[in-house]
Amino acid sequence: MKKLLLMGRMNDVMKNLSDYLQNYFRVQVCLENTENTLAMIKVLEPDIVVILLIGVYEFDNSIFLLLQNEYPNTPIVTIGTQGEYENFQFFCKDVQVDNLIRPIDNALVLEMLNHKLETAQEVVVEEKAEPVGDMKNVLVVDDDALTLRNLKMALEDTYNVSIANSGMKAISAIGKRRPDVILLDYEMPVCDGRQTLEMIRADAEIADIPVIFLTGVSDREHIEAVIGLKPAGYLLKPITMEDLEKAIEDVFSGNQQ
């Protein structure tokens, strides 16, 4: 999961936002204590920072100087009234910040965070420069870099393998090279496997591409939810190469789950 640092005063707005975002991020809440906040930033090294601007004038500006000097590429989203944001700009005027005017629905906050993370990160879409013509094309989608690397290495002798580390990047990869099968992580943050599959099926030109879900959760309710989406197959992590190769072969032979 991506790491999110949520800064601000503890109140009902902060608690509600924190509870909501924990469904999508690894959230660390930091309050007004400057020493603790500075330490937490260095330990956590967040992928994105969200600042609730209620009472922002009470923050020590050293926090913003740290973000500006040591984490210039870390996206920052603030949530506050126009007046609160004007006070904030004094502290962090040289840092690229997107402000959301409150009150705002949590779903819109999530949409902004998703957008910031997508535009801030280098697109991860890797493929062979000259794919072998008689090999099938496989797209692997997972937010874990180690999983992507391992699966690519395991499959690339048999297939033309492309990889993507998010649902949106997967759609981009499909546009560059249409896969014959997609291996899709179900538990990705922000845009998960279900949402990614829905985007694929919503596009008539790619809706028929078979998708095999990869999932690390094995409880009955979770598995039933996965099966309910009617994928071409699903595999439980950790994945063995024998099971993976069989699942792919079943798709190509028409012997799907």
CB atoms < 10 A from the CB of 239, how many?
18
3-state secondary structure of 99: strand
CA distance 173 to 68: 33
Residue 226 contacts residue 184 (beta carbons within 8 Å): no
% of residues, the chain, pLDDT over 70? 81
Q: Output the pLDDT for position 91.
A: 56
Query: In the predicted model, is pLDDT for residue 112 greater than 80?
Result: yes
Per-residue model confidence as pLDDT tens digits over 202-243: 889 999 999 999 988 777 787 788 788 889 998 988 889 999
CB atoms < 10 A from the CB of 133, how many?
6
Question: Amino acid identity of 99?
Answer: N
Average pLDDT on 74-95 reads 72
Taking the alpha carbons at both ends of the chain, their separation in whole angstroms is 29
Bridge-based pairing of strands 125-126 and 160-164 is antiparallel
- Burial status of residue 159 (CB atoms within 10 A of its CB: 0-12, 13-18, 19 or more): buried
Q: Output the pLDDT for position 222.
A: 74
Average pLDDT on 109-138 reads 69
Average pLDDT of the residues of the chain:
81
Per-residue model confidence as pLDDT tens digits over 124-143: 445 544 566 689 999 999 98
For residue 25, the surrounding DSSP H or E stretch is none
Question: Which tokens go with 102?
Answer: 């409150």
Question: Which tokens go with 183?
Answer: 């291996």
Q: Output the pLDDT for position 123.
A: 40
Overall pTM > 0.75: no
Query: In the predicted model, is pLDDT for residue 169 greater than 90?
Result: no
Question: Which tokens go with 203?
Answer: 């596009």
